[in-house]
Amino acid sequence: MAPVVAGADATPLNVDEFEAYARTYLPKKTLDYYVSGADDMVTLKENRAAFTRLKLMPRVLRDVRHIDTATTLLGQPVATPVCIAPSAMQRMAHPDGELASSAAAAAQKTCFVLSTISTTSIEDVAASNGAGLRWYQLYIFKDRELTRDLVVRAEKAGYKALVLTVDTPILGSREADLRNGFALPRHLTMANFTGGKHAHRVNEVGLSQYTKELFDLNITWDDVAWLKSITSLPIVVKGVLTPEDAVLACDVGCQGILVSNHGARQLDTVPATIEALPAIVQAVAGRAEVYLDGGVRRGTDAFKALALGARAVFLGRPTLWGLAHSGQQGVEDVLKMVTSELAHAMMFSATTSIAEIGPNYVRHEAYFRSPSKL
């Protein structure tokens, strides 16, 4: 039977249908920037394929009347472990941009991470996110005073953690963007830098050149220690893919590790995040919370990540698709869909709380080919 495919005007029933809508609706330059991975996009495919290679091992005949997706992130309660990853330039998807996605996160009682490269300011997002849980994603600039200023602003505006992205000394090579000469459209601004010496440069020179000019190639674990010395906020290090770096992050006092390959947009041919996760969870051994992003599109993906030790998952592109579709409502729908799919996976697996979802609930498909050897 042919698969059922929604028309452009049908209400999307899943994340892929939101993406299909965005693909017909967004201008080419914007769409290419959002969808692309680096180089040959090998890792982009892997982020999805690796989830498919994991099979669920549901238990049965337990009471599943009450399924609870609530958990905590660094001590703060959330109604769902399905959160919003930091993604840049959200007003290209919808005029309300980050205001809409942060309000959606608050309405769905989950965590919103604001990108440094946002088109809405730290303070305006705080106002729209209200009592919601918000974290601030930080890039360390060559200009450490500018960096310190961002940290102080995030603290003052009630962000509860700094998410330090460490996989971006330069921008990955996204070839469609190179071909399109992608830059932030002129009617939008880098909202955290207006009025200062960096205002508007990214509209002129594009993201890649901007990064080359302003980001520091000499960022080390000492800078994480420096960051710790200037803030009381917990630090989540984003972009770790090896157990070695996860241990160093714990040693320097990071409270969270976000296992991420930046949505496959930086170094191509790194492993899928779901495959990098187990060794990191093992190496961290409870010294920090471990999270995952990359390729999470269904509740079953979230379930697999939780089973392998992630405390929460973060959605990147899916919330951009929701935003493009219908602003805050679209982002809320995406969060609700993936959370409700997760709740279904929990019910089908007879796990009623997040804490119950452990490694016994997944097996790599290779097991079924030669169970005796694994």
Ligand X SMILES: CCCCC(=O)C(=O)O
Ligand Y SMILES: Cc1cc2nc3c(=O)[nH]c(=O)nc-3n(C[C@H](O)[C@H](O)[C@H](O)COP(=O)(O)O)c2cc1C
> For the window 82-101, what string marks contact with ligand Y as x by the rule CB under 6 A?
---xxxx-------------
The one catalytic residue among 262, 325, 344, 364: 262
Please tell me whether residue 294 binds ligand Y under the rule CB under 6 A. Answer: yes
Tokens of 213: 């000019």
How buried is 226 (Cβ within 10 angstroms: 0-12 exposed, 13-18 middle, 19+ buried)?
middle
**Which alpha helices (DSSP H) does the chain contain, by range?**
15-25, 28-35, 42-53, 97-107, 122-129, 144-156, 175-180, 201-214, 221-230, 243-251, 273-284, 299-307, 317-349, 366-369
Answer for which of 17, 46, 98, 293 binds ligand Y (CB under 6 A) is 293
Contact 166, 252 (CB under 8 A): no
How buried is 251 (Cβ within 10 angstroms: 0-12 exposed, 13-18 middle, 19+ buried)?
exposed
293 labeled part of a ligand binding site: yes
Please tell me whether residue 256 binds ligand Y under the rule CB under 6 A. Answer: no
Contact 284, 250 (CB under 8 A): yes
Nearer to ligand Y, 125 or 351 (CB): 125
Please tell me whether residue 37 binds ligand Y under the rule CB under 6 A. Answer: no
Nearer to ligand X, 88 or 151 (CB): 88
Separation of alpha carbons 274 and 297, rounded Å: 13
Answer for which of 12, 234, 256, 316 binds ligand Y (CB under 6 A) is 316
87 labeled part of a ligand binding site: yes
CB of 192 to ligand Y, least distance (A): 11
Amino acid at 51: F
Nearer to ligand Y, 168 or 350 (CB): 168
Q: Is 187 assigned a catalytic role?
A: no
CB of 294 to ligand Y, least distance (A): 4
Nearer to ligand Y, 45 or 363 (CB): 45
Please tell me whether residue 262 binds ligand Y under the rule CB under 6 A. Answer: yes
246 labeled part of a ligand binding site: no
Amino acid at 317: R
- Count the site residues for ligand Y by CB under 6 A: 23
Separation of alpha carbons 8 and 21, rounded Å: 6
CB of 202 to ligand X, least distance (A): 9
Site for ligand Y in 189-218 (CB under 6 A): none
Separation of alpha carbons 258 and 77, rounded Å: 18
CB of 136 to ligand Y, least distance (A): 11
Contact 319, 337 (CB under 8 A): no
Please tell me whether residue 172 binds ligand Y under the rule CB under 6 A. Answer: no
Tokens of 185: 């459209």
33 labeled part of a ligand binding site: yes
Contact 84, 319 (CB under 8 A): yes
Answer for which of 129, 165, 189, 349 binds ligand Y (CB under 6 A) is 165
- Summarize as ranges the residues that interact with ligand X (CB under 6 A): 88, 117, 168, 171, 207, 211, 262, 265
What does 319 interact with, of ligand Y, ligand X, none (CB < 5 to 8 A by kind)?
none
**Phi/psi of residue 169, each to 5°?**
-65, -40
> Catalytic residues, which ones?
262
* Site residues, ligand Y (CB under 6 A): 33-34, 47, 85-88, 115, 117, 137, 165, 238, 260, 262-263, 265, 293-296, 315-317
